[in-house]
Structure 1
Amino acid sequence: MTDVLVAHSTDVDKASFYKKTYLHVALAILAFAGVETVLLQTVPAELIYMMVGQRYSWLLVLGVFWLGSFMASKWSLSQSRSTQYVGLGLSVLLYAVIFLPMISVALLQDGTGNLIMQAALLTTAMFAGISAVAFTSKRDFSFLRNIITIGGFIALGLIVAGMIFGFNLGLWFSVGMVILASASILYETSKLKDTYGTQQYVGAALQLFASIMLLFWYILRILMSRRS
Structure 2
Amino acid sequence: MEEIRQVTPMVNSLTDEKRVAFYKKTYTHLAMAVLLFVIVEWIFFQIEPLVNFAFSMAQGWSWMLMLGGFMLATSYAEKMAHKSHDLKQQYLGLLLYVVAEAFIFIPMIGYAMIVAGNGGGDILSQAAILTLALFTGLSGVVLLTKKDFSFLKSALTIGFFIALGLIVAGLIFGFNLGLWFSAGMVILASGSILYQTSNMVHKYSEDQYVGASLGLFASLMLLFWYILSILSND
TM-score (normalizing by structure 1):
0.94
Residue 163 of structure 1 and its aligned partner are, at CA, apart by 2.2
Aligned to 1:73: 78
**Residue 101 of structure 2 is aligned to residue 95 of structure 1:** yes
- CA-to-aligned-CA distance 1:190-225 (integer Å, 9 cap, x gap): 221221100000110000000000000000000011
Task: State the alpha-carbon separation in 2 of the partners of residues 113 and 21 from structure 1.
Answer: 33
* Structure 2 runs not aligned, ≥5 long: 1-5
Deviation at residue 4 of structure 1 after TM alignment: 0.8
1:134-153 to 2 correspondences below 5 Å: 134-153=142-161
Return structure 1 stretches of 4+ with deviation > 6 angstroms. Answer: none
- Unmatched tracts of structure 1, length 5 or more: none
What corresponds to 2:193 in structure 1?
A: 185
Q: C-alpha distance in 2, partners of 1:138/1:63?
A: 35
Deviations 1:130-159 (A, max 9, x none): 111111125442322221111111111111
For 1:89, give the aligned amino acid.
L
Amino acid at match of 2:78: S
Provide the alpha-carbon RMSD of the alignment. Answer: 1.5
Could you tell me which residue of structure 1 aligns to residue 231 of structure 2?
223
Paired residue for 2:3?
none
Residue matched to 1:124:
132
Q: Deviations over 1:55-100 (max 9, x none)?
A: 2211111001001111000001212211111100000000000100
Q: 2:63 aligns with which of 47, 52, 58?
A: 58
- 1:160 equivalent to 2:168? Answer yes
Structure-2 residue corresponding to 1:24: 29
* Aligned-residue offset at 1:8: 1.0
> Structure 2 length normalisation: TM-score?
0.91
Distance in 2 of aligned mates of 1:15 and 1:179:
28
CA distance in 1, matches of 2:113, 2:81: 32
1:36-73 deviations in whole A, cap 9, x for unaligned? 111112133532331113x2211111001001111000
Instruction: Judge conservation of contact 2:148–2:202 (CA < 8 Å) in 1.
Output: no
In structure 1, how many angstroms separate the alpha carbons of the residues matched to 2:114 and 2:124?
Answer: 11
Say if 2:209 is the partner of 1:209: no
